[in-house]
Structure 1
Amino acid sequence: MYHTWMRFFTPGPAHHRLGLVCLGVGLQYGALPTVGPRTLDHHVAVVVNTGGGWYQTPDRRRTTVTAPALLWLTPGIPHHYGPDPDTGWDEGFAVFTGPATTTYTELGYIQPDRPVVPLSDATGPRAVIGRIARAARRGNPLLEVETGAAVHELLVALRRARADVTPDGDLLLKALARDACLPLSVADHAARHAMTPAELRTAVRRGAGCSPKDYLLGIRLGRAKELLAATELPVAAVARRVGYDDPAYFSRLFTRRVGMPPVRFRAQQYRAVPGGWSNRIPDPDDPPMIEPSPAT
């Protein structure tokens, strides 16, 4: 016995230009029928919340699926899977496509060569799938945009929930972020963590989806923007604060990556905040508010 609910959508050309569109969503549980063998021309993320089953590759090798787990069904790759006939499983799935899937694959958020991904916790991804399901109510005028935006969120939630994203990996990225503005090369950072540059590249790409150089550069430029927008420090001083002894090189790098030179960024974004600038991130559940004036 099994239970299934699903909806399918047909976004228009304008929605496809947003980069990702959701084509469908489903919630199912029980001893579901076997799927495939089949080949799709779009992506499906199947999140198995409880239970277990199997996944069979095109060369007929079977992999055991134990919840919580993710099944990646990617375009052009044959797949065949099903829950255990005695116990079944509980799954939620989202169907999606769009040109942004190429970039998400390059960043490691979508893994066509890894169809079965153990998860540490399926709560986050299932919550996003639940929101897509709620958005799929009949007559929702925001359906295509709302569900497309949720697919972006789902890919992030799945990335965060992967069982191989270990606490050690998180600590490494935090340490790199802490030391990003020191005048250190990638090789210097690797040595500080008793790693080879190749090992550091692998760890950072697995945890952040980019190279150590790009990860450090993003943090440095973000800090530089804050200093340009909120202080009167000369550009040369800003460059030194974020790890660059050569202000001309910093300006060229900033211009190439940001699209404008530091002085122009400051002219657009400068805010005088004497005594008001803080590195403390506001609590999203208790954001800072201006107290209303007392009634007179």
Structure 2
Amino acid sequence: MYHTWMRYFTPGPVHHRLGLVCLGVGLQHGTLPAVGPRTLDHHVALVVSAGTGWYATPDGRRRPVTAPALIWLVPGVPHHYGADPGHGWDECFVDFTGPATATYTELGYIEPARPVVPLSDPAAARTVVARIARAARRGNPLLEVETGAAVHELLVALRRARADLAPGGDPVLEALARDACTPLTVAEHAARQGMSPAALRAAVRRGAGCSPKDYLLGVRLGRAKELLAATELPVAAVARRVGYDDPAYFSRLFTRRVGTAPVRFRAQQGRAVPGGWSRQVPDPDDPPQLALEGGGDLDPLDGPGRPDAAT
């Protein structure tokens, strides 16, 4: 015996221009029949949250699947999988497509070469799938946009839930972010973490989808924007705070990557954000608490109470 619920959608061309569209959502559990062999023209993220089963590679070799796990089904690649016929499994899935899938693949969020990915905890991903399922009610005027936005969130949740990541995130990226504004070379960053430069490059590429240099630059420029927007520090002082001794080089780099000069960026933020300037240099690792109506605080890194996960 098994139980199944699913809905499928056909977003229009204008919705595809959003980058990702949801084509379907499903929740199933029990001794489900095997799927395939078949080949699809779109992506599917299938999350197995309980039970065991198998996945067959295109050459016919079977590999075990033990929950919690993610199975990637990608366009043009034959696949064949199924739950254990004796005990079954609990799964949820989302079908999706769109031009943004290429970028998510480049960044390592979608992994065609790794069809079965162990997960540490599928709860966050199942929460997103449950939200897609609720949005799938007939007559919802926001259906295509609401479910498409949720696919972006699902890819982030699945990336964060990978079992090869520490619960708080990627320790390599955390260490780089912590030391990003110090004047260290990539080789020196690698030595601090007990890695070779090649190993560091591979780790950052796997975790962030870019080179260490680009990752460090992104952190530095983000911090520079915060200082420009929230303090009256001179541009030269901002440059030094984020690791650049040459203010002119910093200004050229900022202008090239951000699209506007540091002084211009500050002027824009000063006009857009009322309330004047802070005398305290903001600490990005210590955000303020946001007051809620009726008392209590909300940490901006946490969301409001999550709905129950899909079952």
TM value normalised by structure 2 = 0.89
Q: By how many angstroms is 1:165 displaced?
A: 1.5
Alpha-carbon distance in 1 for matches of 2:69, 2:154: 14
Alpha-carbon distance in 2 for matches of 1:236, 1:248: 8
Tell me which residue corresponds to 1:155.
155
* 1:7 equivalenced with 2:7 (yes/no): yes
Query: Is this contact kept in 1: 2:227–2:281, CA < 8 A?
Result: no
Tell me which residue corresponds to 1:46.
46
Runs of 5+ consecutive residues of structure 1 not aligned to the other structure: 289-296
User: SS state of the match for residue 273, structure 1?
Assistant: coil
Q: By how many angstroms is 1:195 displaced?
A: 1.1
* 1:245 equivalenced with 2:245 (yes/no): yes
Alpha-carbon distance in 2 for matches of 1:161, 1:167: 8
Q: By how many angstroms is 1:181 displaced?
A: 0.5
User: SS state of the match for residue 138, structure 1?
Assistant: coil
What are the equivalent positions in structure 2 for 1:136-175 lying under 5 Å apart? 136-166=136-166, 170-175=170-175
Alpha-carbon distance in 2 for matches of 1:97, 1:245: 45
What is the CA deviation profile of residues 83-116 of structure 1, one whole-angstrom value per residue up to 9, with x for unaligned ones? 0111000000000000000000000000001111
Query: Is this contact kept in 1: 2:230–2:282, CA < 8 A?
Result: no
User: SS state of the match for residue 164, structure 1?
Assistant: coil
What are the equivalent positions in structure 2 for 1:1-296 lying under 5 Å apart? 1-166=1-166, 170-270=170-270, 272-275=276-279, 278-279=282-283, 280-283=286-289, 286-287=297-298
Letter in 2 for 1:211: S
Letter in 1 for 2:277: V
Task: Pick which of 41-50 and 257-266 moved more.
Answer: 257-266
Runs of 5+ consecutive residues of structure 2 not aligned to the other structure: 300-311
User: SS state of the match for residue 19, structure 1?
Assistant: coil
User: SS state of the match for residue 91, structure 2?
Assistant: strand
TM value normalised by structure 1 = 0.93
Q: Against the structure 1 CA distance between its residues 134 and 197, is the aligned structure 2 distance closer, same or farther, given a 3 Å change threshold? A: same
Report how many aligned residue pairs link the two structures: 288
Alpha-carbon distance in 1 for matches of 2:252, 2:3: 59
Q: By how many angstroms is 1:168 displaced?
A: 9.4
Task: Pick which of 32-41 and 245-254 moved more.
Answer: 245-254
Alpha-carbon distance in 1 for matches of 2:289, 2:208: 24
Alpha-carbon distance in 2 for matches of 1:106, 1:276: 39
Q: Percent identity?
A: 77
Tell me which residue corresponds to 1:292.
none
Alpha-carbon distance in 2 for matches of 1:71, 1:165: 17
Query: Is this contact kept in 1: 2:2–2:28, CA < 8 A?
Result: yes
Query: Is this contact kept in 1: 2:227–2:238, CA < 8 A?
Result: yes
Alpha-carbon distance in 2 for matches of 1:214, 1:265: 21
What is the CA deviation profile of residues 156-190 of structure 1, one whole-angstrom value per residue up to 9, with x for unaligned ones? 00001111123697333222111110111111111
CA RMSD of aligned residues (A): 1.7
Alpha-carbon distance in 1 for matches of 2:278, 2:262: 21
What is the CA deviation profile of residues 57-79 of structure 1, one whole-angstrom value per residue up to 9, with x for unaligned ones? 11111010000000100000000
Query: Is this contact kept in 1: 2:227–2:282, CA < 8 A?
Result: no
Q: By how many angstroms is 1:240 displaced?
A: 1.0
User: SS state of the match for residue 81, structure 1?
Assistant: strand
Letter in 1 for 2:215: Y
Letter in 1 for 2:11: P
Query: Is this contact kept in 1: 2:25–2:92, CA < 8 A?
Result: yes
Letter in 2 for 1:131: R
User: SS state of the match for residue 85, structure 2?
Assistant: coil
Q: By how many angstroms is 1:208 displaced?
A: 2.5
